Structure 1
Amino acid sequence: MKAAVYAGKGGAITIEELPDPVPGDGELVIRVQRCGICGTDLSMTKGEMFDFPAGQFGHEFAGEVVALGKGVEGFRLGQKLAVNPSGACGHCIGCAGHNHVMCREAPSFAQGFAEYARLPASLAVPLPDTLSLADGALIEPLAVSLYGVRRSGMKPGARVVVLGGGTVALYAIYWALALGAGKVVALSRSERRRDLCLAMGADAFVPFGANEVGETIEALGGPADLVFECVGAEGMMMKAIQHASVYGKVVSLGFCTKPDPLIPALAAYKCATIQFLVGYGMDEFLTIARDIDKGHVDPKAIITDTVPLAALPQTMDMLRGPNNETKVHVLC
Structure 2
Amino acid sequence: MAQQVRGVVARRKGEPVSIETVVVPDPGPGEAVVRVQACGVCHTDLHYREGGINDDFPFLLGHEAAGIVEEVGEGVEDVAPGDFVILNWRAVCGRCRACLRGRPWYCFDTHNARQKMTLTDGTELTPALGIGAFAEKTLVAAGQCTKVNPAVAPQVAGLLGCGVMAGLGAALNTADVRRGDSVAVIGVGGVGGAAVMGARLAAAATVVAVDVDDRKLAQAEKLGATHTVNSRTTDAVRAIRDLTGGFGADVVIEAVGRPETYEQAFYARDLAGTVVLVGVPTPEMELKLPLLDVFGRGGALKSSWYGDCLPSRDFPVLIDLHLQGRLDLGAFVSETIGLGDVEEAFATMRRGDVLRSVVLF
Q: Do they fold alike, i.e. is TM over 0.5?
A: yes
Given that residues 33 and 69 in structure 2 are in contact (C-alpha distance below 8 angstroms), is that contact kept between their aligned partners in structure 1?
yes
User: What TM-score do you get using the length of structure 2 for normalisation?
Assistant: 0.81
Give the root-mean-square deviation of aligned CA atoms: 2.7
Matched to 1:219, the amino acid is L
Query: Does residue 285 in structure 1 map to residue 308 in structure 2?
Result: no
In structure 2, how many angstroms separate the alpha carbons of the residues matched to 1:148 and 1:52?
29
Given that residues 247 and 271 in structure 1 are in contact (C-alpha distance below 8 angstroms), is that contact kept between their aligned partners in structure 2?
yes
1:215 maps to: 239
Given that residues 61 and 136 in structure 1 are in contact (C-alpha distance below 8 angstroms), is that contact kept between their aligned partners in structure 2?
yes
Of the three residues 54, 68, 80, the one matched with 1:64 is: 68
2:46 maps to: 42
Query: Does residue 53 in structure 1 map to residue 53 in structure 2?
Result: no
- Measured against aligned partners, the alpha-carbon deviations of 1:232-257 in whole angstroms (never above 9, x if no partner) come to 23411111112111222211000111
1:110 maps to: 131
In structure 2, how many angstroms separate the alpha carbons of the residues matched to 1:8 and 1:103?
29
C-alpha displacement at 1:189, in angstroms?
0.8
- Measured against aligned partners, the alpha-carbon deviations of 1:9-48 in whole angstroms (never above 9, x if no partner) come to 5555332101244233443322211111112222343224
In structure 2, how many angstroms separate the alpha carbons of the residues matched to 1:74 and 1:212?
47
> Aligned pair in 2 of structure 1 residues 246, 52: CA closer, same or farther (>3 Å)?
farther
Matched to 2:240, the amino acid is T
In structure 2, how many angstroms separate the alpha carbons of the residues matched to 1:174 and 1:318?
23
C-alpha displacement at 1:68, in angstroms?
4.1
> Aligned pair in 2 of structure 1 residues 100, 5: CA closer, same or farther (>3 Å)?
farther
C-alpha displacement at 1:75, in angstroms?
5.0
Given that residues 66 and 85 in structure 2 are in contact (C-alpha distance below 8 angstroms), is that contact kept between their aligned partners in structure 1?
yes
Matched to 2:323, the amino acid is D
- Measured against aligned partners, the alpha-carbon deviations of 1:31-81 in whole angstroms (never above 9, x if no partner) come to 211111112222343224x33633323221011233344555565654422
Query: Does residue 131 in structure 1 map to residue 152 in structure 2?
Result: yes
- Measured against aligned partners, the alpha-carbon deviations of 1:273-301 in whole angstroms (never above 9, x if no partner) come to 32112123222223323433235341111
In structure 2, how many angstroms separate the alpha carbons of the residues matched to 1:52 and 1:316?
19
Given that residues 84 and 285 in structure 1 are in contact (C-alpha distance below 8 angstroms), is that contact kept between their aligned partners in structure 2?
no
How many residue pairs get aligned? The number is 330
Given that residues 79 and 145 in structure 2 are in contact (C-alpha distance below 8 angstroms), is that contact kept between their aligned partners in structure 1?
no
Query: Does residue 313 in structure 1 map to residue 343 in structure 2?
Result: yes
User: What TM-score do you get using the length of structure 1 for normalisation?
Assistant: 0.87
1:99 maps to: 105
Of the three residues 333, 340, 352, the one matched with 1:303 is: 333
In structure 1, how many angstroms separate the alpha carbons of the residues matched to 2:287 and 2:218?
31
C-alpha displacement at 1:100, in angstroms?
6.6
Given that residues 143 and 288 in structure 1 are in contact (C-alpha distance below 8 angstroms), is that contact kept between their aligned partners in structure 2?
no
Matched to 1:273, the amino acid is A
In structure 2, how many angstroms separate the alpha carbons of the residues matched to 1:248 and 1:189?
24
SS of 2:23's equivalent in the other structure is coil
User: Which range moved further: 91-100 or 180-189?
Assistant: 91-100
Of the three residues 145, 160, 169, the one matched with 1:147 is: 169
2:120 maps to: none
> Aligned pair in 2 of structure 1 residues 52, 174: CA closer, same or farther (>3 Å)?
farther
In structure 1, how many angstroms separate the alpha carbons of the residues matched to 2:98 and 2:47?
24
Unaligned stretches of 5+ residues in structure 2: 114-128
C-alpha displacement at 1:82, in angstroms?
1.2
SS of 1:225's equivalent in the other structure is strand
Query: Does residue 331 in structure 1 map to residue 360 in structure 2?
Result: yes
Of the three residues 84, 88, 111, the one matched with 1:84 is: 88
In structure 1, how many angstroms separate the alpha carbons of the residues matched to 2:93 and 2:76?
18
Of the three residues 203, 214, 226, the one matched with 1:203 is: 226
User: Which range moved further: 165-174 or 9-18?
Assistant: 9-18
Of the three residues 235, 254, 266, the one matched with 1:241 is: 266
In structure 2, how many angstroms separate the alpha carbons of the residues matched to 1:224 and 1:256?
23
In structure 2, how many angstroms separate the alpha carbons of the residues matched to 1:233 and 1:218?
24
Matched to 2:250, the amino acid is D
